[in-house]
Amino acid sequence: MAANKGTISLCLIVRDEEKNLARCLKSALGYVDEIIVVDTGSRDATPDIAKSYGAVVVHSPWQNDFSQARNESIKHAAGEWVLILDADEELPAETAHKLRDLARAPGVEAWTFTIVSPVLSRKDGPKTKHLNLRMFRNKDIYRFEGKIHEQVKPSILRHNPGAVIEYSNLAIIHYGYVRDTGERRAKTRRNIAILEEALASNPADPFYHYNLGVSYFTLGDLKSSRRHYETALQHADLKAGFAAVLYRNYCLCLYELGEYAETLATADKALIYFADYPDLYFIKGQVFCDLGMLPEAKASFLKCTRFRKIPPEYTTMEGVTSYLAFENLAEICALEGNWDEAVDHITRAIEHQPSYRLLSRLCSLLQKKNYQGNAIAAYLLESLKIKRQTAARILFDAQEFEACLACIGDTPAGSEMALLKAKCLIRLGHYRKAAEALQKIHPRCHLVVEGLKQKSLTAWLRNPRRDAAMPASAGNNPGHPATVCCQAINSLIGSTATLQQQDVREHALDIALEALRLGDRDLSMMISLTVTGHKIQEAYRTLGEYVLQKGCYAEAKELLKQALNSGSATKEIYYLLGTACANLNLHGKAFGYFLEAFKQAPENELFAACALQSLVNECLAFVINGLNLEKNNAVLRQELFRLTSLKRKLQYCKEAVYSADRHSQPLHDCQKRGR
């Protein structure tokens, strides 16, 4: 078929992609000449969405073979060039605008692109990058190969050994890693089934073993992942396009398994072949950090920052040569008490990624340098040119309330800043002014519910407490759970009330936590008692668990101890107390509490793993103290590796237990981090 010169056919294979397809097609519309969509059995509106963008929809039964479906789409393409996208991908504007330039380039047979995959849904979340061939000349001899993780490059080079394949220096955004967890796991299991079937006819294929390693890693089956990575390494050619990422991913798997010595050895071996791969140095830095070997960790992360360019053929985590490395350097300096250098490094990180998280960390480091609120504000506003509203939120989180108010003073009025101003005034004891500020929240704004709770607090926190009937009954929705909650709390201040409806209960506990943070423990407990039907043990336990979930570990510990002393010596209380103590680095006490929980439920593997991990942490503290006195003590260094590895393995064990039983004890954040 003679195609018009420079024309582009966008080809996709889809199934049940109504949530993603419109975004994908919209990004390409007007930049390609035709859209071919092969639908392999959608049961939703996917075909209709495709047609609405002018696509030619071809219905083709799914044959458990991605190459077959890809080649079916190419068969219907009339353009001189074929562009391949998945439904959960999107062309950035720059890429879309330059497609015509690529199609007009003389002498080029195919183009590769950087596939950027966000790992989390938040804008500043981590992203991985890898290279993929996505645009090639439309010739009958060029076809995809492989039942899964299909490739067209081998076909191009086999039929045209001298083919020029160039890097476009352009990106394609892939959202598949931030899909619903259940959906992603289901697709991963499907991929494993196809890979296992393909492997049956070629048991030593390193590419299939590599992809099985990736799939099992995604599912959290690290042992199976390791087994397939090791088989892939036995058979892989170092010149293969996936050899570098195979080593990288194998190192990550070993790291997650707590095999620290083997991780370092494998990374060093990989660096012999791929010395320009910064991710390998980054992994070494993570291992050294876990081991408390700070000078070695610092050297590894500094090495990352010296890379000016990462070869595009390497799969990498965005930021390993910039903000992620500088952030880790800042944390190392903070552990050393070197606050000046820590601030310098976190500032460098912010220059590359001005995220709220990094800005908040900068604020806490400036406080360590004895910066006062106004000085911190000046640093944020003048040195970093941060927007005033963002700076105000950061100052509030850092409890620099006077500086926050000063920052808000010059910002345009709005509901968000009105609420923030009121919360500052409440914390400074200016309840009347806070109530006035809350009047500026627009009645249709989503913040009106939080404003209602804060307005009620301006009455309840006074001495003597005041009736909040007027603010509690304000608002356009008298039946809203927050309104019901505030009215009930207002009633209990003078008499009795109940707050046991689940939706009302959540708002009540939120207000109780706010009161606790503001120093009014009596009001906080009064609310909790009402939530629990005036049962003192349950009141301490319920509020303690809620406070623990919100990260207030010291307060949670005291409340849960009160529950224990009131006679609530249950395995749940001991587990929660252990969790609070573990987060406060009170590992000896945490061990005691987890052990008591385990004694009551010896069949509970989570309790056992938590107790053992706390014991390991306590032993690690002794070893680290010893190494601080005798840095070259070989026996202590060996114990450091052994105990840190055991700690990581126990964390993996806890995650596995929790995944297997969603109805077991809640795995709180500190347990997820394995501290």
pTM, to two decimals: 0.88
Q: What is the DSSP string of 37-88?
A: EEES---SSHHHHHHHTTPEEEE----S-HHHHHHHHHHT--SSEEEE--TT
List 655's β-bridge partners, or say none: none
Which tokens in the block code for residue 545?
């668990």
* 602-619 burial code (b ≥16 CB/10 A, e <16): eebbbbbbbbbbbbbbbb
Q: Which residue has the tokens 């504007």?
A: 93
Residue-level pLDDT at 463? 84
Q: Is the CB of residue 633 less than 8 Å from the CB of residue 640?
A: no
- For 435, phi then psi, to 5°, come to -60, -35
- Identify which of 318, 347, 320, 331 has the alpha carbon closest to the alpha carbon of residue 290: 331
Amino acid at 579: T
What are the tens digits of pLDDT across the range 535-575? 899 999 999 999 999 999 999 999 999 999 988 899 999 99
Burial (0-12, 13-18, 19+ Cβ within 10 Å), 259: buried
- Identify which of 667, 612, 610, 656 has the alpha carbon closest to the alpha carbon of residue 224: 656
Q: Rounded to an integer, what distance in angstroms lies between the CA atom of residue 288 and that of residue 261?
A: 10
Q: How much helix, strand and coil, in percent to the nearest 5, is found in the chain? A: 60, 10, 30
Q: Dihedral of CA 44/50/56/62: which sign?
A: negative
Length of the chain: 675
- Identify which of 421, 418, 415, 385 has the alpha carbon closest to the alpha carbon of residue 403: 421
- Identify which of 292, 354, 299, 298 has the alpha carbon closest to the alpha carbon of residue 323: 354
- Beta strands 110-118 and 316-317 are unpaired
- For 310, phi then psi, to 5°, come to -100, 125
Q: Dihedral of CA 131/136/141/144: which sign?
A: positive
Residue-level pLDDT at 671? 41
Residue-level pLDDT at 672? 38
- Beta strands 81-84 and 89-90 are unpaired
> Considering the domain 8-177, what is its CATH architecture?
Alpha-Beta Complex (3.90)
Reported CATH class of domain 181-286: mainly alpha
Q: Is the CB of residue 206 less than 8 Å from the CB of residue 240?
A: yes
Reduced to 3 states (helix: H, G, I; strand: E, B; else coil), residue 518 is: coil
Q: Euclidean distance between the first and final Cα of the chain, in Å? A: 63
Q: Rounded to an integer, what distance in angstroms lies between the CA atom of residue 655 and that of residue 129?
A: 27
Reduced to 3 states (helix: H, G, I; strand: E, B; else coil), residue 621 is: helix
Sequence ranges of the domains in the chain: 8-177, 181-286, 571-675
- Contact partners, residue 380, CB within 8 Å, separation at least 6: 359, 362, 363, 386, 390, 391, 394, 395
Q: Which residue has the tokens 């791929």?
A: 274
Q: Is the CB of residue 175 less than 8 Å from the CB of residue 183?
A: no
Reduced to 3 states (helix: H, G, I; strand: E, B; else coil), residue 205 is: coil
Q: Dihedral of CA 254/259/265/267: which sign?
A: positive
Spell out, as residue ranges, where the chain has pLDDT lower than 70.
1-3, 179-181, 410, 469-477, 494-501, 660-675
- Contact partners, residue 423, CB within 8 Å, separation at least 6: 396, 434, 454
| Separation of CA 114 from chain center | 21
To the nearest 10°, report the CA torsion of 427, 433, 438, 439: 170
What are the tens digits of pLDDT across the range 582-633? 999 999 999 999 999 999 999 999 999 999 999 999 999 999 999 989 988 9
Residue-level pLDDT at 657? 82
SS (H, E, C) 255-315: HHCCCHHHHHHHHHHHHHHCCCCHHHHHHHHHHHHHHCCHHHHHHHHHHHHCCCCCCCCCC
Reduced to 3 states (helix: H, G, I; strand: E, B; else coil), residue 562 is: helix
